[in-house]
Amino acid sequence: MKLPFPLQEGEQLLTLARRHWLFVYPKLAAGAVVALVPVGVLWWAMARFDWTDDALPRWIALGATAVWLVYWTIRLYLFKYRYDNDIWVVSNQRIIDSVKNHWFHLQMSTADLVDIEDMSVTRAGILGTLFDFGDIDCQTAGAVRKFALRGIPRPREVQALVDRLRDEARAIAKE
């Protein structure tokens, strides 16, 4: 995957994560149902009342169906695009939270490992426990005190990695 930002000199990508798949695929499926059920009901009603034989109602229904399906296709595409481009990167120097809502938007936050003061992991609910995803909150020494990774898979492993890297970075900084 091509990162939406350059790595710094000597920086190595150690892990890349995005929200757990449970945050996107059930919503995509629900969106597909919402998109397709009204179309099915419209065409069923038109066939039931014999409106498909008349040209005007058929063209109106075709137009409404086309507009409705294009709208939902774009909406679902942008939802999946946001999911694919909402990433968290842990490198040997920093944590990066990068979000692209659409092609013309990029929001990126970084926290140097040496600035991370403490971290907490929250894994709540049955789904979070069964599928091992949760939230990581990092307190930093920077101007923005809180750095949050939401819905991340295997949060305890990521926390352990960041803790180890933070300790190594602090040891190097003391030298």
pLDDT in the model for residue 34: 96
Burial class for 30, CB neighbours closer than 10 Å (0-12, 13-18, 19+): exposed
Q: Is residue 13 part of a domain?
A: no
Look at the chain and report how many structural domains it folds into: 2
Q: Is residue 5 part of a domain?
A: no
End-to-end CA distance of the chain: 35
116 lies in the same domain as 73: no
The residue count for the chain = 175
Q: Is residue 92 part of a domain?
A: no
117 lies in the same domain as 76: no
- Residue 57 carries which side chain, given as an amino acid letter? P
Whether 175 shows a pLDDT value over 90: the answer reads: no
Q: Is residue 61 part of a domain?
A: yes
Q: Is residue 135 part of a domain?
A: yes
pLDDT tens across 45-63, in order?
A: 888 887 767 788 888 889 9
User: What is d(CA 169, CA 64) in angstroms, rounded to the nearest whole number?
Assistant: 59
Q: Is residue 152 part of a domain?
A: yes
Q: Which residues contact 163 (CB under 8 A, 6 or more apart)?
A: 119
Query: CB–CB of 139/119 below 8 Å?
Result: yes
The residue assigned the tokens 């659409």 is 102
pLDDT tens across 4-39, in order?
A: 888 888 888 888 988 899 889 999 999 999 999 999
User: What is d(CA 88, CA 158) in angstroms, rounded to the nearest whole number?
Assistant: 10
Q: Is residue 87 part of a domain?
A: no
Strand duo 13-18 + 146-153: pairing? unpaired
Q: Is residue 18 part of a domain?
A: no
Question: 33 is in which domain, residue-wise?
Answer: 25-82
pLDDT tens across 141-167, in order?
A: 766 667 788 889 999 998 899 888 888
User: What is d(CA 166, CA 158) in angstroms, rounded to the nearest whole number?
Assistant: 12
